[in-house]
Structure formats: C-alpha cells, structure tokens
Amino acid sequence: MNPPTLADVAQRAGVSRQTVSNAVNSPHLLRPETLLRVQGVIQELGYSPNRAARSLRTRTSHLVGLRFAPAQEGTANALMDRFVHTLVATAAVAGYHVLLFSDDDTEPLQAYDDLLRSTAVDAFIVTDTYLGAPQAAFLSTRRAPFVAFGRPWGDPGATHAWVDVDGAAGTALATEHLLELGHTRVAWIGWRKDSFIGEDRRAGWVRAMRERGLPTAGLASRVEDTVASGREAAAVLLDEAAPTAFVCASDTLATGVLHLMAERGLVPGRDLAVVGFDDSQVAQVLPGGGLTSVRQPLEEVAVELVRALERVLATPPQAGTGVLLAPTLAVRGSS
C-alpha cells in the first residue's frame, strides 16, 4: 500500500493542496477550525511531508553538520558518544537531523568547505574550540551559521553562540569533596599549559586549595592525556610530594593513577583517593566501586545547543550568546 500523499489529505479534508501545505508549514495562515480539520486528517491517514520536496522548495535541508573524530587510543574518554546520542535525539524533536562527517587532519577545513559549497547542511555544531582551532573563524568569515560546544578560548571578542561546562567549578567541587574527607595534600594531574580547558580545570583545584590555606607547590603535574602519562605523573608525585589524594583533568589520567596504585598494592579510597573528570563509562565500571568523577551535563548542553541553533536559524537570525553550565560530582569507591 502506497503511503498517503498531500493530495489524499486535501481530498479527505475537502480543502486545496495549498491549504494542506499551509497546515504543515505555515499553520498561522489558516483559520483555527480549518487547521484542526486538516490536522485531524493528517493524523488519521498517517501522512508525513516529503522532506526532499520541502528542502527543494525552502532551500533548507534541516541537516546540521557535526565533525566526529575517533577516540584517541590509550584514553578512557567516550564523551563524544554520550554527547552525540543526546544531541541527535534533541535535534530530532526540533525538526533537525545531525549529519556526522570526518575530515583530514592535514586539511581540517576541507570537509566544512565541501558541505558549504554543496549547501548540504543548514548549520554546523563546532566542537573544535581549542586555542588555534580554525573552524570558528573560517565559518564566521564565510557567514555560515554555527554554534559551538566550548568557549571561544582564543577569541574573547567572538560573537557566535556557544555552550560550555564550567570546568573550574567541577574540579573545585572534586577538590572540596576530598578536603571534606580530611585530605590536606591533594595533588593535581592535568594537561599541558597550552590547553585552555586544562588550565581552566586546574584553576578550580588551585582555588579550592587556597581557600583552605593549603599549599599547591610541588603538588601539580602537566602531561599528555593518556593512561601512561597519568601513571608516570602519579609515580613522581607520590615519591616526591607524598599526596594522599589526586584530582585529575580527565578519567584517562585518573585511570593511570589507579594503574600505578594497583602496581604498588594500594587500595583506592583507603590508601589514596582519586577523582577524575568526565564520568566516562570506564569510571562507572572500574573494580572497587568505580571512579569518583566530575560529570558534565551533556543532556543540558545538547538542549542549549539546539535552542541556540533555532535562534541562529530564525528569520531574522538572533544574536549569539554564551551559556556556561555547572557540572556535578558522581561519588564512587575511589574516594
């Protein structure tokens, strides 16, 4: 049986095809009683508008482009998986579909340029907001609609819409949790100094320690975001500074700390406390009750990004704004 068409709805409702089209695309143009009658027939017949035909007419695709990069080997981070799943579901409610694409690391803008030239998407969601990332500036220059998951770290004068999570608040929360448990020598393992996100997270640890009048000198390490780096940094800090607890910029680094503890026969939560960041699936399933970790509100991030997209794609477009969300702490056996 063929699916119902716009003509079928028009015939059953006793109206013109244009009236059915208005009921779907411009319901404000119809009288309330007419709109209700047409909507009733649409529901009765199970009519679904032809998205391809609508795209040709309105010159919109209702597709939003999102670059998706594979997870880095040797890490515990599956943050993008959680984010993408929530974003796809939230965007669908608003009438958009997410188009995932990849690009060549040597030509990071080529895929964006190809999609713009082919008018395949209406807008982009950018996640590459690290210092020096060219995506936001490129899209701004091309006047392409986009919103960003992440602050414009290297461009304080940026005017595009963005949504981010307050990393400093998260690590402050993690540090305060350990201090309340009685720890006074809380070490930090974070990322290289050129990482704005890493330095933001480090600032929360520093703030919480200084508010209690506790020292931070000799208790911090900056490394690459791998399990091996976390293990090596923890070994040096334990031997030279004797901390009783660790706050880490990621679950990957925290997993490295746990590896070292296992090698030395130390029990998480008893001999040393460890807190990670991102609340990855790894954090939730590690033996010993799991890894305490800062949890990013990705569901809220997705909702706010879709709201921002709707404002950016409105007629006329609305000005971009920044939204900073607060994380929470998932407490488990490691602390």
Kindly report, residue by residue over 233-276, the tens digit of the pLDDT. 999 999 999 999 999 999 999 999 999 999 999 999 999 999 99
Residues 202 and 115 occupy one common structural domain: no
Q: Is the pLDDT of residue 55 over 50?
A: no
Three-state DSSP state, 118: coil
Q: Which of 235, 262, 302, 265 is nearest to 90 (CA)?
A: 302
Residue 155, in any domain of the structure: yes
Bridge partners of residue 223, in order along the sequence = 191
Residue 1, in any domain of the structure: no
State the total domains in the chain. Answer: 3
Residues 178 and 140 occupy one common structural domain: no
Q: Which domain holds residue 79?
A: 63-165+298-326
Contact 187, 220 (CB under 8 A): yes
pLDDT at 73: 59
Q: How confident is the model at residue 320 (pLDDT cuts 50, 70, 90)?
A: confident
Q: Pinpoint the alpha helices (H) of 96-241.
A: 110-117, 135-141, 167-180, 196-211, 227-241
Residues 75 and 149 occupy one common structural domain: yes
Residues 147 and 179 occupy one common structural domain: no
Cα(57)–Cα(53) distance, integer angstroms: 6
* 66 class by beta-carbon count within 10 Å (0-12 exposed, 13-18 middle, 19+ buried): buried
Residue 291, in any domain of the structure: yes
Residues 234 and 314 occupy one common structural domain: no
pLDDT at 227: 93
Q: The domain spanning residue 42 has which CATH number?
A: 1.10.260.40
Residues 154 and 227 occupy one common structural domain: no
pLDDT at 214: 97
Residues 194 and 253 occupy one common structural domain: yes
Cα(175)–Cα(171) distance, integer angstroms: 6
Q: The domain spanning residue 318 has which CATH number?
A: 3.40.50.2300
The pTM assigned to this predicted structure is 0.78
The gap between the terminal CA atoms of the chain, to the nearest Å, is 61
Residue 58, in any domain of the structure: no
